[in-house]
Amino acid sequence: MAESENIVAETAEKIFADLADAQTINRDKKGAWKAPLWQALSEAGLPLSWVPEDCGGSGASMAEGFSVLSAAGRFAVAVPLAETMLAGWLLAQVKITSPDGEMTVAPASPKDRITLNADRSLSGRARGVPFAKAAKHIAVLANGAGGLSIALVKAGDCRIEAGLNLGGDDNDTVTFDKVTPVTVKPAPQGFDHNALLLMGGVARSLQIAGALESMLDISVRYSNERVAFEKKISKFQAVQHNLARLAGESAAALAAATSAADAIANSTSFNDEVFLEAASAKIRCAEAAEKGGAIAHQVHGAIGFTIEHILHRYSLRALGWRDDFGSESYWAVELGKLVAARGADELWPLVASR
Amino acid sequence: MTAALRFDPIRLPPECEKLRKEVRAFLAEEIAAGTFDPHKPNREDTDAPEFSRRVGAKGWLGMTWPKKYGGHERSFLERYVVTEEMRVANAPTRRFFVADRQSGPVLLKYAPENIKMDILPRICRGEVCFAIGMSEPNSGSDLFAAKTKATKTDGGYLINGTKIWTSSAHIADYMIAIFRTSPPTKENRRHGLTQFLVKMKQPGIQVNPIGQITGQYEFNEVVFTDFFVPEDHVLGEVDGAWKQATSELAYERSGPERFLETYYVLTELVRAVGKNPDTRSAEGIGRLVAQLHTMRRMSVSVAGMLQAGKEPVVEASIVKDIGTVWEQALPHRVRDLAAFVDPDASNHETLENQLSFAIKTAPKLTIQGGTTEVLRGIIARGLGLR
């Protein structure tokens, strides 16, 4: 889909440009930018993009929602937009109406499991839940005796230990100690933890790819301004080749993430082909965050290492996002197991499946 | 903002999947008939003229060209499928690959009608092999330093000089080469080179094979001594070859051959580790597959843009840069992962032989057809740095 035809993405882009300017946010030590940004996003219906209108959302397509996340990545947006979108999407799987306000999802890590007890209460602990402290509600995927369920929980009913990710955003541990959900319904047939993690992973992949686009942009700009040895540093071949490699990492992240998003948007299930797309995106985008971010910092020199400069807003968030919904190491093992189980002669047919 | 790079999620249309099945069935028959062994990329004789004709008969050469020249007017995406299936099967494509990918399109664009009518249908039938005469002993990446001279004479040109690293020149029927028709000017050092069609296997051309570190003899030195080329074999503008080079690069640089050259070692590694790999093997394989998948998505995306009539030169250079660096490192990563594979695994010897060949092949991958350094220069220009 061409972006010019995507009014949802354009709306998001405009809100970010007006209310999520990196320089402004970087100077604002008190976080005064957060409330107006969230309000504008909410008024535009963006946090509930993936929620059908009959469940309280704005009923945008999967593709439109994914393009909002790309834009959010380009601005390194640090409000629970992706998290609320994911929560709304999870709740919509079982037609639970999304409440107003910030939400997040749990579990957000492959090792964590939340149990649905016989008395309909939830027990367990979820680590690394992004923006739990900021959320009013949490959408939970829980394991019960009868299989998986999807529940809507009030964040205030849970014990939340605050933490921060590499980018300085909330990344908390949520403990469910016999918490009674607002609503709970059995998950649809075929829906599992992988579906939630892969969906979250693709969201993070798009955000990382977006952040890399911006890192490339500001690094190219800086290299064309900064003078050393009596010429712009962009004229040095060593710098040019570094930036060419950053462009390559940015391109790889963009291609992997948008392809995975497109695969999910056009598939009715999380089959092997979608698994390949989504897991690959998370792996490759995480690698690009490391390699590309390092080059962006190298080009900027010491100034890029200061808290005053905006580069860290992108570079550290991209690195932090690697850890959410399964790291690249986790997905590499899972993808490797899948490939091995299918057998050597089924590798190429999988890669060439679309 | 920097000019945004585009890699739209292009999907292969349904006709491609039907075609893919046909190609796989054809290759399976050829393997069964003993034409080639897909597990042995290191065979000494990579020329297979009869195979080339059978591929032509299938309609898989000149796929995107006009029917009047023997072509099939199919899409770049369909050609993409044929190319990747041949490459993954280690099929012997040497005889037709360059003509189909590169030389034919140059002729289509710049050759006079009589030459197009003569040669293009023969390429489509898999009958003729092409070489590309670019590099010279003192002119490699710096293409515009070429010195081999084309001197105007009655009815054509006399060629004197030496081309080098010319793949397939020893079996080629034709070469598309650049020769110097004028000295460079002060304002434009790229001025003065002209593209020519050269008929090989004639007096005045001497082809000297050059051994490669893999043990193969695929490239050559080609010496021209007062070799006559007729006037109508000039391709495009005299002295203006530099204008003709860039738009073709996107075709040449972004295909599946730019990351699949050593792919076979990955398949064989998966076979060697078996159905239940340990964590280390699983993670290693998973990462390599994710990287491979990503490059293929990038490459298919460029093919889709070509099909849409765009010229994604920077995107294509990025695909070749990332792809060749990856396929160069691949045998070494596979070697790392194979270190603890059971030496009694049934395919252990095959894997060892393949690794040995792939590791020897690896150094050339980031040199041939535009070095990593040249590609990064092109990308840097696209970013507005030069």
pLDDT in tens, A29-38: 899 999 999 9
Assess A22–B contact: CB distance below 8 Å, yes or no.
Answer: no
A179 and A198 part of one domain: no
Nearest CB to B283; choose among A258, A336, A343:
A336
Which residue segments constitute the domains of chain B, with CATH numbers given? 14-128 (1.10.540.10), 132-242 (2.40.110.10), 254-382 (1.20.140.10)
* SS3 assignment, position B133: strand
Q: Which parts of chain A fold into alpha helices (H)? A: 7-19, 22-27, 34-43, 62-74, 81-92, 193-223, 237-265, 272-300, 311-321, 328-342, 347-351
Residue B263 phi, psi dihedral angles, 5° rounding: -55, -35
pLDDT of residue B249: 65
Tell me which residues of chain A, numbers 134 to 153, contact chain B at a CB-CB cutoff of 8 Å. Answer: none
Is A88 a member of any domain?
no
Residue in chain A closest to B272 (alpha carbons) equals A344
Mean pLDDT of the A182-189 span? 97
Distance from CA of A311 to the nearest CA of B (A): 15
Measured in angstroms, the CA of B106 and the nearest CA of chain A are apart by 28
Q: Residue A154 and residue A89: Cα distance in Å, rounded?
A: 17
User: Is residue A181 located within the same domain as residue A213?
Assistant: no
Residue of A nearest to B291 (CA): A284
The label of the residue with tokens 């963009």 reads A254
A123 inside domain? yes
Q: Is residue A117 part of a domain?
A: yes
Quick one: pLDDT at residue B42? 78
What is the pLDDT, as a whole number, of residue B140? 87
- Could you tell me the maximum CA-CA distance found in chain A, to the nearest angstrom? 74
Q: Are residues A213 and A339 in the same domain?
A: yes
CA distances from B14 to A260, B21, B186, B290 (A): 19, 11, 53, 24
CATH number, position A141: 2.40.110.10
Looking at A62, A77, A92, the residue that finishes a domain is A77
Confidence label for A4 from pLDDT (cuts 50, 70 and 90): very low
Write the residue in B276, B291, B322 that is nearest to A248 by C-beta.
B322
Whether A64 has its CB under 8 Å from any CB of chain B: the answer is no
d(CA A47, CA B157): 70
Q: In A, which residues are within 8 Å of B86 by CB distance? A: none
pLDDT of residue B254: 81
Residues A207 and A310 in one domain: yes
Confidence at A5, pLDDT banded by 50, 70, 90:
low
Domain-embedded: residue A215: yes
Inter-chain CB proximity B315 and A329 less than 8 Å: no
Scanning every residue of chain B, which has its alpha carbon at the shortest distance from the alpha carbon of A63? B9
Same domain, A238 and A268: yes
Range of the domain at A286: 193-351
- Same domain for A69 and A124? no
Q: Give residue A3's pLDDT.
A: 45
Same domain (yes/no): A211, A327: yes
**A233 and A346 assigned to the same domain:** yes
Does A315 fall in a domain? Answer: yes
Residues A118 and A175 in one domain: yes
What string of pLDDT tens digits covers the 386 residues of chain B?
456 888 999 999 999 999 999 999 999 999 999 999 999 987 766 689 999 999 999 999 999 999 999 999 999 999 999 999 999 999 999 999 999 999 999 999 999 999 999 999 999 999 999 999 999 998 988 888 999 999 999 999 999 999 999 999 999 999 999 999 999 999 999 999 999 999 999 999 999 999 999 999 999 999 999 999 999 999 999 999 988 866 666 667 788 999 999 999 999 999 999 999 999 999 999 999 999 999 999 999 999 998 998 888 899 999 999 999 999 999 999 999 999 998 888 899 999 999 999 999 999 999 998 899 999 999 999 999 98
List the single residue in B270, B279, B377 with the smallest CB-CB distance to A333.
B279
Do the Cβ atoms of A347 and B267 come within 8 Å? yes
For the record, the structure tokens of B337 come out as 């992962």
8 Å CB contact of A259 and B9: yes
Q: Provide the number of structural domains found in chain A.
A: 3
Phi/psi zone of residue B79: left (φ > 0), alpha (ψ -120 to 50 degrees), beta? Answer: alpha
Task: Identify the closest residue of chain A to B315 by CA–CA distance.
Answer: A251
User: In this complex, is the C-beta atom of A17 within 8 Å of any C-beta atom belonging to chain B?
Assistant: no
Is position A318 within any domain? yes
Chain A residues in contact with B297 by the CB 8 A cut-off are 255-256, 259
Contact B275 A341 (CB under 8 A): yes
Partners of A235 on chain B (C-beta within 8 Å) are: 385-386
- The verdict on A252 and A313 lying in the same domain is yes
A335 in reach of chain B (CB within 8 A) = yes
Task: Check CB contact under 8 Å for A339 and B285.
Answer: yes
A285 and A156 together in one domain: no
Tell me if A344 and B271 make a contact (CB, 8 A cut-off).
yes
Identity of the residue in B1, B298, B301 whose CB atom sits nearest the CB atom of A217: B1
Domain C-terminal end among A155, A190, A225? A190
Domain final residue pick, A77, A92, A118: A77
Contact: B2, A223; criterion CB under 8 Å: no
| A1 → chain B, closest CA residue | B8
Measured distance CA(A311)–CA(A215) in Å, rounded? 7
Percentage of residues of chain A with pLDDT beyond 90: 97
Q: Where are the strands (E) in chain B, listed by range?
A: 130-133, 149-153, 156-164, 174-180, 193-199, 205-210, 219-230, 234-235
Contact list, A332 vs chain B (CB under 8 Å): 282-287, 290
Cα angle vertex B92, ends B89, B94, to 5°? 130
> CB distance from A198 to chain B under 8 Å?
no
- Name A54's Cβ contacts closer than 8 Å, sequence gap at least 6: A95
Task: Tell me the shortest Cα–Cα distance from B287 to chain A, in angstroms.
Answer: 5
Sign of the Cα torsion B18, B21, B27, B29 reads negative
Residue A320, in any domain of the structure? yes
Same domain, A233 and A324: yes
| A23, part of any domain | yes
